[in-house]
Amino acid sequence: MAEYAHPETLVTTDWVAQHARDEGVRIVEVDVDTKAYDEGHVPGSIAWNWNTQLADTVRRDILSRRQFEELMERSGIAPGTTLVIYGDNNNWFAAWAFWQAKIYGHRDVRLMNGGRKKWLAEGRDLSTEVPKTRPANYTATDPDLSLRAFLPQVQTASAHAAAALVDVRSPQEFTGEILAPPGLPETCQRGGHVPGARSIPWSKAVNDDGTFKSADELRQLYGSEGVDGSRPVIAYCRIGERSSHTWFVLKYLLGLGDVKNYDGSWTEWGNLVGAGVERGAAAKAAVARQ
């Protein structure tokens, strides 16, 4: 069985149990459900709130460089700290935090394979204590925008097949049957997908226990849809968190060179004046081919 391209970016729950309180290691929980941490968390871990601490709350954007530095400083994370991130929903927003950490050049970032679900299912220790952190000094790099796609790049990719567009939402969102995941608020005017995109739901990359599928399985999954590194890749979803999960898989587990996360995603494209969408029968056919 082939190994992941960058196995150093994943740690097991066992590893976290043994190293969570090591000097130079910081464990951070990032959940979709921001109350989950309070219920009980990996002892020694801190929490980041995705919608207040991992986003600019005034403009729609990721953290600025200074905001990222402040978050790291408050969290007691120095540039040399081993940052291990985990969370619920198979590490959705953990991957979102990982993506931002890489944009700002943090060297050693890892995901706990299986996330919060695996930790709970294994009956591992939980704590409700919030550890005190000693502020650190942190200098980030300039943002590495090779990891992030903006609207003009997606428009070019769609119009000229300049990159493989990977829609990681559910098949019903891809076809336009629903405008948002079942039970969640509709945040766009139209359903469908970016013309030319392929449907490869993020969830196909994980096992039932929340861990990532093997490198061979992942290579087969994405390769069968033409996502094989022969051209750049842009992944998107609704707001960019599910696609950061797929971005991590393609970039670090499969080792593809040019992979971007389009965090504007469907809440941008689906609301854009003058932008075409694909939906319906053609889209269903694309899903059926999976």
Partner 1 sequence: MKAEEFAERRLELAGWPVNVASYRLGTEWHAKADNVSPGAALARATGATRDQAEQRALARAEQLLSRTRRQAV
Region near partner 1 per CB under 8 A, out of 6-14, 145-153, 197-205, 211-219: 197-205
237 is an active site residue: yes
Residues in 106-125 at the binding interface with partner 1, rule: CB under 8 A: 117, 120-121, 123-125
Among the listed residues 254, 190, 265, the one whose alpha carbon sits nearest the alpha carbon of residue 227: 254
- The catalytically annotated residue of 237, 239, 250, 272 is 237
Main-chain dihedrals φ then ψ at residue 246, nearest 5 degrees? -65, -40
Binds partner 1 (CB under 8 A): choice among 5, 17, 32, 136:
32
Say if residues 63 and 118 touch (Cβ distance below 8 Å): no
Instruction: By CB under 8 A, tell whether 261 contacts partner 1.
Output: no
Position 158 contacts partner 1 (CB under 8 A): no
Cβ closest to partner 1, residue 87 vs residue 264 = 87
Contact between 179 and partner 1 per CB under 8 A: yes
Smallest distance from partner 1 to CB 103, Å: 23
Taking the least distance from each CB to partner 1, the nearer of 72 and 194 is: 194
CB of 269 to partner 1, least distance (A): 16
Element (H or E) spanning 91, and its range? Answer: helix 88-103
Strand partners, 261: 148, 235
Task: List CB contacts of 25: < 8 A, sequence separation 6 or more.
Answer: 19, 81, 82, 84
Of 257, 8, 215, which Cα lies nearest the Cα of 109?
8
Query: 22: which residues sit within 8 A by CB, 6+ positions away?
Result: none
Nearest distance from residue 202's CB to partner 1, in Å?
A: 7
> Pick from 58, 183, 273, 288: which binds partner 1 (CB under 8 A)?
183
Contact range with partner 1 by CB under 8 A, out of 44-52, 159-167, 171-179, 253-261: 171-179
Residue 202 is given by DSSP the state: G
Token pair belonging to 35: 């109350």
What is the distance between the alpha carbons of residues 49 and 115, in angstroms, rounded to a whole number?
16
Residues 6, 80: Cα–Cα separation, whole Å: 18
User: Does 171 help bind partner 1 (rule: CB under 8 A)?
Assistant: yes
Q: Compute CA 270 distance to the chain's CA centroid, rounded to the nearest angstrom.
A: 20
242 binds partner 1 (CB under 8 A): yes
Of residues 2 and 184, the one with the C-beta less far from partner 1:
184
Query: Is-contact 196 276, C-beta < 8 A?
Result: no
Residues that bind partner 1 (CB under 8 A): 32-33, 35-36, 39-40, 88-90, 92, 117, 120-121, 123-128, 169-173, 175-184, 186, 191-192, 201-203, 237, 242, 279-281, 283-284
List active site positions: 237
